[in-house]
Chain A
């Protein structure tokens, strides 16, 4: 293999698995270290810069970082990254003073459609640059689906108010109760750019027999949730069936339990394991005595005189075809009917753009989704940008934020007369952590502790009040213990082949047998000759240039604990532990262009 080019920004970024997996590339290990030091406000600001809604995400994020966490490959569970983010939000001091100041306005006007995470991220990035941002939303308060669909027992209003407040206080106009029903009219108002972050606001229908007849007791999940959220709905029948296996279904069933549902069931088509809901959300539902029944396909709503009486299901089983794709086929057993008073349908969300006229210059694809460039987020109208669920269908908040940043960057470049397809490189700092012979400026002693559980409120109390937050969050002591579990993957092992004397000290001490000195070869061949088997071929090999004996140093990055023992045992300083801090470049006064060679 050719020697690894560690100057390419992506190489070490990929070693920080959590940050690499995060759509917004939040510098996770950096803020976890700050939490361990008790510097909650600093930890919060790193998050705020990167993901805009740390307190909200610390409660609701889908956590793509956690399955990626290296700790999960070393022991049972990853670091509780998401809940540590909440710790930063919970224990920070007043951070208002640290926020960017509202800038003197330039003459550029941006219209943002929808007041959810995508639009607010765009506004957050552009307002401090002097753009006049106007957010239009039908709801009285900002937040979009974060406010309307996520139940208050998971995400209190106070957190949404605080974090949307930081954005609006940058001098962003929020036009409450102002639904945009014609893009054409908006275009006519001559905004310099329009960002559409209107989400995926329509619940998917379930058109099976009985739907119309029993309509009074059949509710679309997301509409019902926002009804609850805004206080229009405050009760439900005693026996409730929730159809669907995503996170919305989990929110529906847990909300139903709090509004009078005593016998609440979730019934899904697929197997329990394949459900779209995050494992922890399923766990929380089960904990609230909500059974999840699987392999049942709804075939009809039963009703009596216009009153819903139950749902009939066909039993199915999973079979796998030649290609290994799963199919659900009838198991041949008789259909079953479960009695109920109400049904909540949470079988998916759809985008809806009835307000975009055909002559607005916006082209749609076969699936009725706007044609959007996945890098710049521009539509076929060069002034109109999309982001969040409106761009590529329903995903999670963190994706909306990441896309918002990119769209804001595009808008800024467009209005600065620059090419929007040219994307700036991330900002990278790398510096040695060596303080003394065996002292490092990070805590390299690896904690053996297992993942700490987040304390929950007592179930009896939690189920009584729909506005009582269930999760209590880590206290300072638990947070410190959990923070110590982080392996500091951003503190990189940097190797210098010219200093190495091939004494083997690093290979001998490495607790995970990551390091091999061997003859060079093709990647597959090298992987077969490592000291410990290569378990995850998607993890990089760090290969040095030739050493004195003609061999090379090969390090499998996979399960490196970043304990720094290789560097401690190296007599010549050929290994060094260097902190790698990488931040994606947002819209700003100095967006460096890609002309610069790799760092």
Chain B
């Protein structure tokens, strides 16, 4: 923990985005997490992604549960809406908020405890319903706030800091999300911002349930030999299938490699995802193939990262429910109580 406030001075040549903000304007309070926490790098990546996309901070709602990861919304987007919910209840609160006001950008921030244990059901249903959101799990495989017990995502056979071997099978949140119909699924690593930042950008621009599992080493309790979520282990076993660039507006696409290996995916809002293939056989539009690929590589001890699945034609909960276009807070009395004649019509239709 750091006690001084981060100085307000900025680099004199600092980059500004289309809104005239620098990345410093997307910061929150100074982090109270342990020094070197992977979560702080994810925080920095979210800041970078929002800065790059020139998002107006007041257009974002950041919602989290309980845990180290769920503390992080305090450390980014200090001028956004925020809701720190009961443990594991982030997905329902986010769903409710999204239904009430579909115009905001929803950022759900959770951890492996919050989403794979106490909130596992909540996680499943929010994904299943296709809520338009970016759901980020900061996954370190341990309960850091209670001193490092294995969480539900810890790999079988991995060792705790005290030397105890985990005998339970892990929950692979990416696999579950694919199975439950998430329309943008990715995995990344807190120590690889080059990969992570564009994945977050793509998720924010995606319409539908976007799920990102970010492996985030716990410096205090899960960064030792024998851990499968340490910096060294993840760097050694990282199998990236692709590299992503998010293109907004009319930026020309610079292709610095064989054009056949770059795939352009156009999303609903006109943003384009330029996917540079690393694994030539990997098809990010094949849900079933992705699931098989993941299982196969997991069995070999590989951690597959990259944009694993994307459905550019995805829909969200609002279109499924055919809800009103406007946010509820902008509906007036006349919209909500359209009068006797409308009621008569409805009644007549039911006779």
Chain A residues proximal to chain B, CB less than 8 Å:
73-75, 438, 444-446, 448, 501-505, 507-509, 511-514, 532-533, 535, 548-549, 559, 561, 563, 565, 568-572
A511 touching B7 in the complex, CB below 8 Å, given contacts A74-B12, A503-B41, A559-B12: yes
Cβ of B35 and Cβ of A505 under 8 Å apart? yes
Closest residue on chain A to residue B193 by CB atoms: A504
The answer to whether B2 touches A569 (Cβ under 8 A) is: yes
- Provided the pairs A74-B9, A438-B3, A509-B6 are in contact, do residues A571 and B35 lie with their beta carbons within 8 angstroms? yes
**15 pairs across A/B with beta carbons < 8 Å?**
A73-B12, A75-B9, A438-B2, A503-B36, A505-B37, A508-B40, A511-B6, A511-B9, A532-B15, A535-B13, A548-B235, A559-B9, A565-B2, A570-B35, A571-B36
B11 at the interface (CB under 8 A from A): yes
Known A-B contacts A505-B41, A569-B36; A444 and B4 likewise in contact (beta carbons under 8 Å): yes
Interface size range of chain B in the complex: 35 or more
Which residues of chain B come closer than 8 Å to A565, judged between CB atoms? 2, 4, 6
Q: B10: which A residues are within 8 A, CB to CB?
A: 511-512
Task: Say yes or no: is B191 at the interface (Cβ < 8 Å to chain A).
Answer: yes
Q: Are A446 and B41 in contact (CB under 8 A)?
A: no
**B14, closest chain A residue (CB):** A532
Q: Are B35 and A448 in contact (CB under 8 A)?
A: no
Identify whether the interface residues of B are mostly helix, strand, loop, or mixed: loop
Q: Is the CB of B12 within 8 A of A504?
A: no
CA–CA, A508 and B31, complex, Å: 11
- B residues lining the A interface (CB < 8 Å): 1-15, 24, 30-31, 34-38, 40-41, 43-44, 190-191, 193, 217, 219, 223, 231-232, 235
Roughly how many angstroms separate A286 CA and B223 CA in the complex, as a whole number?
65
CB-CB under 8 A from A438, the residues of chain B are: 1-3
Cβ distance A508 to chain B, nearest Cβ, rounded Å: 4
Q: Are the CB atoms of B41 and A501 closer together than 8 Å?
A: no
> Which single residue of chain A is at the shortest CB-CB distance from B43?
A508
- In the bound complex, how far is the Cα of B194 from the Cα of A507, in angstroms? 14
User: Interface SS of chain A: helix, strand, loop or mixed?
Assistant: loop
How far is the CB of A87 from the nearest CB of chain B, in Å? Answer: 25
Q: How far is the CA of A573 from the CA of B27 in the complex (A)?
A: 25
Residue from A501, A508, A513 in contact with B11 in the complex, judged by beta carbons closer than 8 Å:
A513
A509 vs B35: C-alpha distance in the bound complex, in angstroms? 10
Shortest beta-carbon distance from A458 to chain B in Å = 36
For residue B31, which residues in chain A have a CB less than 8 angstroms away from its CB?
509, 569
Q: How many Å lie between the Cα of A427 and that of B272 in the bound state?
A: 60
**Closest residue of A by beta carbon distance from B9:** A74
CA–CA, A403 and B262, complex, Å:
66
Q: Contact between B40 and A505 (Cβ–Cβ < 8 Å)?
A: yes
Tell me the complex Cα distance, A255–B240, Å: 76
Once A509-B6, A511-B6, A565-B6 are accepted as A-B contacts, the answer to whether A503 and B11 lie under 8 Å apart by CB is no
Neighbouring A residues of B38 by C-beta, 8 Å: 503
A445 with B36: in contact, given A503-B219, A561-B9 (CB under 8 Å)? no
Taking a contact as CB atoms closer than 8 A, the residue among B5, B36, B43, B190 that contacts A572 in the complex is B36
Closest chain B CB from A504 CB (angstroms): 5
Question: Distance in Å from the Cβ of B137 to the closest Cβ of chain A?
Answer: 19
CA distance A438 to B235 in the complex (A): 29
One of A501, A507, A532, A568 near B231 (C-beta < 8 A): A501
Distance in Å from the Cβ of B193 to the closest Cβ of chain A? 7
Question: What residues of chain B lie closer than 8 Å to A75, measured between beta carbons?
Answer: 9
Top 7 closest pairs, chain A to chain B, by CB: A571-B36, A508-B44, A532-B11, A533-B13, A446-B7, A445-B4, A503-B36
Judge whether A501 and B12 touch: CB under 8 Å.
Answer: no
> Looking at the complex, which one of A448, A508, A511, A561 makes contact with B41 (CB distance below 8 Å)?
A508
Question: Judging by beta carbons under 8 Å apart, are B12 and A569 in contact?
Answer: no
Q: Quick one: which of B2, B37, B43, B190 has the most chain A CB within 10 A?
A: B2
- Chain B contacts of A74 at CB under 8 A? 9, 12
Other than the given A438-B2, A508-B41, A511-B9, 9 more pairs (CB < 8 A) read: A502-B191, A503-B36, A503-B41, A533-B13, A549-B235, A563-B4, A568-B2, A569-B35, A569-B36
Instruction: Contact check, B13 vs A532: say whether CB atoms are below 8 A apart.
Output: yes
Q: For the complex, what is the distance from the CA of A563 to the CA of B231, rounded to whole Å?
A: 27
CA distance A444 to B232 in the complex (A): 32
In Å, the complex CA distance between A73 and B5 comes to 21
When distances are taken between beta carbons in the complex, the residues of chain A under 8 Å from B37 are: 503, 505, 571
Best-buried of A74, A501, A549, A568 by chain B (most CB within 10 Å): A501
Select from chain B the residue with minimum beta-carbon distance to A73: B12
Rounded to whole angstroms, the CA-CA distance of A444 and B4 in the bound complex is 8
Alpha-carbon distance A559/B11, docked complex (angstroms): 7
Taking CB atoms, residues of chain B closer than 8 Å to A512 are 9-11
Residues on the A chain within 8 Å of B43, using CB? 508
Across the two chains, which residue of chain B brings its CB closest to A556?
B11
Return chain A residues, CB-CB under 8 Å to B14.
513, 532
CA distance A559 to B232 in the complex (A): 32
Chain A: which residue is nearest B11 at the CB level? A532
Is B6 touching A504 in the complex (CB atoms < 8 A)?
no
In whole Å, how far is B140's beta carbon from the nearest beta carbon of chain A? 12
Which residues of chain B have C-beta atoms less than 8 A from A505's C-beta?
Answer: 35-37, 40-41
Closest to A503 in B: B36
Which of A507, A561, A570 is close to B7, meaning CB atoms less than 8 Å apart? A561
The CA-CA distance from A75 to B235 in the complex, in Å, is: 40
How many angstroms between the C-alpha atoms of A501 and B190 in the bound complex?
13
**A315, chain B: closest CB distance, angstroms:** 39
List of B residues within 8 angstroms of A571 by Cβ: 34-37, 219
Q: What residues of B have a CB within 8 angstroms of the CB of A73 in the complex? A: 12
Give, as a whole number of angstroms, the nearest-CB distance from A509 to chain B.
7
